[in-house]
Structure 1
Amino acid sequence: MEPTQIIVILTLSFLAATISGVAGFGGGLILLPLLTYFVPLNVAVPLLTVAQLFGNGSRVYFSYKELRWRPVILFLLGAIPFAVLGSRLMVNINSSLLKICIGFFLILVVSYKRCNKKDFGLNQYWLTPGGAITGFVSGLIGSAGPVGAVFFLGLKLPPLSYISSEAFTALSMHLTKIFVYGKFELLNIDTLVTGTLAGLAMVGGSYLGKRIITKLSTKKVDLIIEILLLVSAVQLIIF
């Protein structure tokens, strides 16, 4: 990979992590289609997973005192085994088909958010099946922040508790996927190095996101994320 490409990836990673730090999700799904301009999809997904170890880990660190363990454990009971299943399917699935599926998934995410502005009314009993759905999607396409966010937002947690708890579950899923990718030789030294550099950039973005979370309205952040997701979706489906 050319030095210029690495610089662009680091910049995009920083910006994506800033968005995640403010909204609690969205960075991974925004970054993934952009990474496919530089590397094949079966390289982009493991690279993003490595980077998100740092991104989500830093979000946990910056708000760890607010973490809520009960919902985290209930969520991970479903998320971990299905993240393994999704990761194994990603190994064998056709890349072109996967890009199209990701594109339509992004459109569905935005459509769901647009159609469900009111309270979701979800409680802790939804956490384990919700974790299973989120883990499977995360293993298959590399990131599923909006899916997991639906179940955590339904708990009506304080903002920092929501961000740190959701980030911890994402961190756990990424660690699981790293193991699967390594087993199937989808991780090499170049992917690890580039993913680590991108992850370090994400740490800075997470810190900036926490600093500005109280200075930017939620409506503005949501609108920015939805626009970027739709643009990325169209790019994946058409190109």
Structure 2
Amino acid sequence: MDVAVHLVTFKQYCLVAALSFIAAIVGGITGYGTGLILPPVLLPIVGPAALVPVISLSALMTNASRLIVFRDKFDVRHAVMLAGCALPTCVAGAYIYTALSGKAVTIVTGLALIVLVPLRRIASRAQWTLPTSGLAVAGSGYGLLVGATSGSGIVLLSILLAAGLRGAAVIATDAGISLLLGLAKTAVFQTAGALPASAWIMAIVIGCCATPGAFLARRLTAGLPIHVHTSILDGVVVLGGALLVIQACGGGR
């Protein structure tokens, strides 16, 4: 992958820093934020080829801080199962990203997410849950998707909700799984030459500014009723799906 070097101004760094803080608060409440809020701003600054590598690298810091904040809610069993199934396909997806465009798969993912929420609510009323075999298949599919795209983290959120997790347990488990997969993606992108020094600098700025937001989000969610928190999570899934479709149709990678 040929990653062009983009000169970043002080104002652009300040803009990215401010949005990173906001995205971390959103992510701490909903389980997801950075992959939705930052791409439209980062794209003209770092270029399309570096977009996913930069977000993946910065996510190592944001997910680590989120995991620390919500560590008492971390679901080890679901995390081990999903991460184990997703890791091999995540590496494959990251290699695919270095050579191919993800426009079509992004559109399909966005539409699927929009449909997932009403289906999950119907399944919840019928007391359906995702079985172990279903979790394994979903984890493998998610790994391929997250390796090759930006903004697909909401798929993991949907899987965890379907597995029966709620509230802060979704946030913590999502962060732990995403941290492990992020390490794998970063290793692939670094090997492929998709992470020059400028990308590391931008990722560090994002990570440092996002970390305080995770701790603030913990305070905001402390007294949040579980049904309200779940409704917020559902809203983010639908919004994320719509934004993915809009981003892909707009010609972004």
TM range (shorter): 0.7 to 0.9
Question: Displacement, 1:16?
Answer: 1.8
Aligned partner of residue 187 in structure 1, secondary structure: coil
Question: Displacement, 1:226?
Answer: 3.6
1:102 aligns with 2:110: no
Distance in 1 (alpha carbons) for counterparts of 2:170 and 2:233: 16
Q: Aligned residues, how many?
A: 236
Distance in 2 (alpha carbons) for counterparts of 1:180 and 1:228: 26
Question: Displacement, 1:160?
Answer: 2.5
Distance in 2 (alpha carbons) for counterparts of 1:112 and 1:157: 16
Question: Displacement, 1:39?
Answer: 2.3
Distance 1:227 1:142, change over 3 A: closer
1:56-90 per-position Cα deviation (integer Å, ceiling 9, x unaligned): 11111011122222211111111110110000000
> CA contact under 8 A between 1:45 and 1:141: conserved in structure 2?
yes
1:68 aligns with 2:69: no
Which residue is 1:201 aligned to?
Answer: 209
Distance 1:83 1:156, change over 3 A: same
Moved more, 219-228 or 118-127: 219-228
Distance 1:162 1:220, change over 3 A: closer
Distance in 1 (alpha carbons) for counterparts of 2:236 and 2:146: 22
Question: Displacement, 1:30?
Answer: 3.5
Q: 1:166 aligns with which of 166, 169, 174?
A: 174
Q: Which amino acid aligns with 2:144?
A: F
Distance in 2 (alpha carbons) for counterparts of 1:152 and 1:225: 12
> CA contact under 8 A between 2:85 and 2:136: conserved in structure 1?
yes
Distance 1:13 1:99, change over 3 A: farther
Distance in 1 (alpha carbons) for counterparts of 2:108 and 2:209: 28
| 1:1-239 superposed matches below 5 A | 1-94=8-101, 98-99=102-103, 101-118=105-122, 119=124, 121-213=129-221, 214-215=223-224, 217-218=228-229, 219=231, 222-223=234-235, 226-227=238-239, 230-231=242-243, 233-239=245-251
Q: TM-score, normalised by structure 2?
A: 0.83
Q: TM-score, normalised by structure 1?
A: 0.87
1:107-127 per-position Cα deviation (integer Å, ceiling 9, x unaligned): 431232244323252133333
Distance 1:108 1:127, change over 3 A: closer
Question: Displacement, 1:196?
Answer: 1.1
Aligned partner of residue 92 in structure 1, secondary structure: coil
1:106-159 per-position Cα deviation (integer Å, ceiling 9, x unaligned): 243123224432325213333322221111111000343221122221332352
Question: Displacement, 1:236?
Answer: 3.6
Distance in 1 (alpha carbons) for counterparts of 2:243 and 2:151: 17
Aligned partner of residue 46 in structure 2, secondary structure: coil
Distance 1:206 1:229, change over 3 A: farther
Distance 1:114 1:36, change over 3 A: farther
Structure 1: which 4+ aligned runs deviate by more than 3 Å? 214-229
- Flag structure 2 segments of 5+ consecutive residues without an equivalent: 1-7
Distance 1:220 1:61, change over 3 A: closer
